[in-house]
Structure 1
C-alpha cells in the first residue's frame, strides 16, 4: 500500500484530521514533566546526595522521551491526512517542521554552546559537543551542546524520512523497510546510538499506525486497552534490561484508545494541562541548563535533596511557560506570518493530484 494521497481517507477522516486532539497536548505535558523529574533527580543526587530509596523509581521519567516519539509520529500523520503529496506540500511540510523545531531551540542551544566555550570543563564528563550538530541537529560523531537535543536529532531525521516517503508515494513500504532495518540491526537507544537506525525510531512508526487506525475509526477499545496494559506491565516487571521500545508500544496502543475516546466526546482535558502541553517543548528545552543552576544554588544554601527537586521542577516549569509566552509563541507566529502563510497559499493554488 502506498501513500498516494494523504487526503484520500474514508468519509469523516478529513473532519477528524482537522480537529485538535487535546489528549495529545496532555500527553506532551506528561512527557515533559516526566523528563524534568528524571533529570532533577540525577542533578540533585549527584550534587547534593541524600536521595531517598524511592528516588530510583524517578529514573522512569526518562520514558517521557519514548512518549514524545510516539506522539510525534501520531501528530505528523494525523495533521497531514488532508494534504497532497506533491513538491509544494513537501517543501511546506519541511519548512513548517523546521520552524517549529529550530526557532525555539536555537537561542538555548547556541547559548549553552557559548557558555561551554567560555567556562571550559563545566559540561558533563565526556560531553564533547560539535557546532555542526548544535546548529543543524543533524547526526555527527559529536552531540549538540544542549544535551536533551539528542532527541531532536531523531525528530529531524524522522521528518526527512516522512517527507521523502510521501513525495515518493511509498510511505507504507518505506516505513516497513525502515522498521525492518531497525529491528534487524537493533542499535541501542540513547545519545550514543545510530540516529538513523536506532530502535527507538520504531516508536515514530507506532505513532503513525495509531493515527492511521484512529482516523479510520478502527480502534477496538478492549483489545487495544488490553495490549496497552500488557506492554506496560511487561516493561515495568521485566527489569532494567527491558528495552524502552516495549513501553513505547504500550503507549501507542494507549494513545490510540485515548484519541478515539476524545473524538467520541468522552474525554475532557483541564485548561492548565493544555497550558503545560503548549509549553512542553519550551520546558523540555530549558530544563536541563536551568537544573544545573538551581541545584547548585540549593547546595550553596545547604538545603536538602527534596528542596533541590522541588525548586528545580518548579523553576523549570515556570521558566518553560515564560519562554513559551515570551519568545516561542510570538516568534512562531511571526515566522508563520512571514514564511508559512505565503507557502500555504502556494499549496492551495497547486493543482490536485490523485
Structure 2
C-alpha cells in the first residue's frame, strides 16, 4: 500500500516527507495505522549527525501509538482494531537481558539503527522506484501506516487516548525510569533534574513518585522552568550552580542524593557538573546523548573513589516495555502521571520540520504529530 512518511536521505541531512510503498506484515509482524507520534530529540540527533545513520534513506520516528489494521501469522493474541503503543526498544523475551529482567538491553536492539528487519535482513518500506527505506528502531512512527515486529508493540486499553499514550513509548519510560529505577529515588531525597524537555519532565514525575522531598529542575529556558512545577518540581533554576547551592542548603551541605542528566545534547561538562552536585554515595544518572564519538568526563577520580559516588548510564530508563508501558498508562488513568501537560503542541506530518525547529527554540516540552 502507499504511505507517506518523513525520511532523511543522508545523516546528517534534513527530514523530507515523501510517498513510499509499505509491505504487508509477515509472520510475527503487524501493520499499524498511526494515530500519534512524539517528536523525540533522539530523531533529531540523526538529522544533525550527532548519532549518524548508515544505509540511508531512513524513515524516522520511534515514539508512537496507533490502531492495528493487519496482522501476520502468529499474531500472539493481537487482532485488527487493537490499540498499541510502540516500544522504542524491542524485547525478544528470551535473550540473557530479557530473561534477567533487563529487557531494555535486549539483544534485538543491536539492529534498531541498521535499517532492515533484524530477523531476516529484508525491508518493509520502499520508495516508488523500489529502493529500500530503513525503519528507525524497526518501527518508523513518522510514517502514517507502518509495519513492525510484534517484539516492538504493547497492546493497550482502548479508553486511553493514543495522542498521550504515544509518549510512554520513549520519553516517559526513559525519564520516569531514570528516577525510579536508575537513581532509585527514595522518600525524602533531594533530586536534581538537568533539562526539562519530555524526558526531564518525566524524570521530575518519577522523582515525585519515588517520594523525593526536594526536586530541583534546571533549565536555561524560562518557559520550561515555569512548566516544571506542573510535573512536581519544588524548585526551578536556570543553572547547575544554583541547583547545587540549593541542594546543599537542603542537606546540611552534603549535596543532592541524585542528579539526573536529561539535557537535549549531552556534553561532558554537564556530567561533571552533576557529579559535583551530589553527596557522598550519591548517584549521577545520564540518559542524554550527544556526539557519538565524544569521550571523556572531567571528574575527580579522587572524589569518585573516596566519596563513593556512582555514575550510571540509563537506557530507556531501565524499564521493561512489556510491563512498564501498561503500568505507566495505569498511573495516567489514575491521575498519578501527567501526560496531558507534556504535549505542548501538535503538528501534521507535513509540519515535522517546524516541530523540530520549535524543539530547538525551547518552546515545547513535547511536540506530537497527529495523523487523525
Relative to the length of structure 2, the TM-score reads: 0.23
* Greater share of strand: 2
TM-score, normalised by the number of residues in structure 1? 0.24
Give the number of the structure whose residues are more often helix, by fraction.
1
- Higher RCO (CA < 8 A, seq sep 6+): 1
